[in-house]
A and B are shown apart, each in its own frame.
Chain A
Amino acid sequence: MSVLTLRLAGPLQAWGASARFIRRTTEAAPTKSGVIGMLAAAQGLQRGDDAGLAPLSALRFGVRIDQPGTRIRDFQTAHHAVTGKSMPLSERFYLADAVFVAALEGDHTLLTALHTALRAPVYPPYLGRRSCPPSLPVELGVHPDISLDQALRNEPWQASAWHQKRHRDQPTVTLVILREATSAERDGDEDVLRDQPLSFAAEHRRHTLRTVLSTIVNVPNPLARATRLPASGHTVPHHDPLGGLEEETA
């Protein structure tokens, strides 16, 4: 099995798994439907092409939270551009300044085709919502003969330089991995998320449940300080004038 890894970084991201009507929420990490949708768009699949979507949604999906970002709320009071009528008031939630590594495990030829499609996409990629373009190219590479878990553990830390510098006291950082469990790992206690895409048809989008297994990994911090500077109080040189003097003999 091969693994395709992606870097999802941008000023804003929005990954909704349960958003309905006027309250458009976001999960803390990218959803499988969001990432599969981005790949399908890069390949030029049409909305109703469920047969073309099936091999993509059969890929095993995992994500690593490299930089959690902050959740921000947008109270949207948009008006229609032509008629000037007010649109429904809505609350939209975004993740600001977040960086994720997403990985897809599956057939090597399919993943290579997806990697090529991401380099010259038919429809441009976006991070969960059309208003959230990625700030860097999303594709990192195809890794042959590796498991999903291994690929997410091997990838270097992708967080921004300022975020890595903020953690410069830590030579390694602990990151959370959220991935689909293999059939051997399933025991019925895993978390589930309704983001396994069945159809992206415009008139009726359908998703089913997906198991999510949470693990952690320690990755090195490239901007860690080599040695900690001594505290300022220790710069006073040692000086003991009584050390050279004998005790008085009584």
Chain B
Amino acid sequence: MYLTRFRVNTGRPGARRLLSSPQSLHAAAMSSFPGLLPTTTDGPRVLWRLDHNARAEVFLYIVSPERPDLTHLVEQAGWPAAALDPDTPGWQTRPYAPFLERLTKGGTWAFRLTANPVHHIRRKDGEPTKRTAHRTPVHQKAWLLDRQERSGFRVVEKSDENRLLPGGTTHQGHIHHGDRHELTVREPRSLAFFKSDEAGPQRHRVTVVTATFDGRLEVTDAEALRRTLTQGLGKAKAYGCGLMTLAPLPTTE
């Protein structure tokens, strides 16, 4: 497995085209694997995510089973002249497997995840269920906390002195996720675009609601967490959702 980071040159028209369309960016990410033919539908999973840290600091992260070649992205939306120097390549790729092997139960990490939190509802009896987005931060946090057990991690709970409410519960006794866990949710985005049907000329409107989670986790099941990190969490993995990354905790509080 490989983890790759590419910095997007947001001033370029090519970057704007890619950033404005999750479909184009998915196509660009998928076409960076010289060893992977596009005809294989059930190939190994490629995950990607965009981190908008600042207006001109946008990173594309890709987790893939094969080493990617992002030359075409550098040409369209990077710094091609700077990339000529072998010391400053247009992207950075690191082997991911040694890091994944080092994950052990009980280890704590900072994490970031952009996901598509959804549930399935039936509005009236007899109707088929419909996939519906979680829109509020409380529901989005509950969505992630619901999945932490089987995904192999546990979101670290805040210590009592860091909480605003006693026990992290509201005055009515309900659990308040925002005050209970080391977890924030931000950047709610609603991606809406048209997708053409392969069978005919019809176009479908696709809407994907995404949320970015930041927090701290403790590994409970290293094997399950490895699966989460390499195969993704939640829906809409083709549109930049589901990739979770870990980073070392800051040494000083």
| Contacts from A to B (Cβ < 8 Å) | 233-248
A245, B63: Cα distance in complex, Å: 13
Contact, CB under 8 Å: A244 / B248 = yes
A244, B52: Cα distance in complex, Å: 21
Contact, CB under 8 Å: A242 / B214 = no
Contact, CB under 8 Å: A244 / B55 = no
B92 at the interface (CB under 8 A from A): yes
B95 at the interface (CB under 8 A from A): yes
A237, B213: Cα distance in complex, Å: 10
B143 at the interface (CB under 8 A from A): no
- Min CB–CB distance B89 → chain A (angstroms): 12
Contact, CB under 8 Å: A241 / B247 = yes
Which of A236, A241, A242, A244 is close to B53, meaning CB atoms less than 8 Å apart? A236
B217 at the interface (CB under 8 A from A): no
A residues in contact with B186, CB < 8 Å? 235-236
Contact, CB under 8 Å: A243 / B54 = no
Contact, CB under 8 Å: A245 / B54 = no
A241, B52: Cα distance in complex, Å: 15
Contact, CB under 8 Å: A237 / B214 = yes
Contact, CB under 8 Å: A244 / B98 = no
A residues in contact with B250, CB < 8 Å? 238
A residues in contact with B92, CB < 8 Å? 242
5 contacts between A and B (CB under 8 A): A239-B110, A241-B247, A244-B246, A244-B247, A245-B99
- Residue of A whose beta carbon sits closest to that of B95: A248
Contact, CB under 8 Å: A245 / B55 = no
Contact, CB under 8 Å: A245 / B96 = yes
B residues in contact with A242, CB < 8 Å? 3, 5, 92, 94
A79, B98: Cα distance in complex, Å: 95
B51 at the interface (CB under 8 A from A): yes
A241 with B95, Cβ < 8 A, contacts A233-B54, A233-B55, A236-B53 known:
no
B residues in contact with A238, CB < 8 Å? 250
A residues in contact with B112, CB < 8 Å? 237, 239, 241
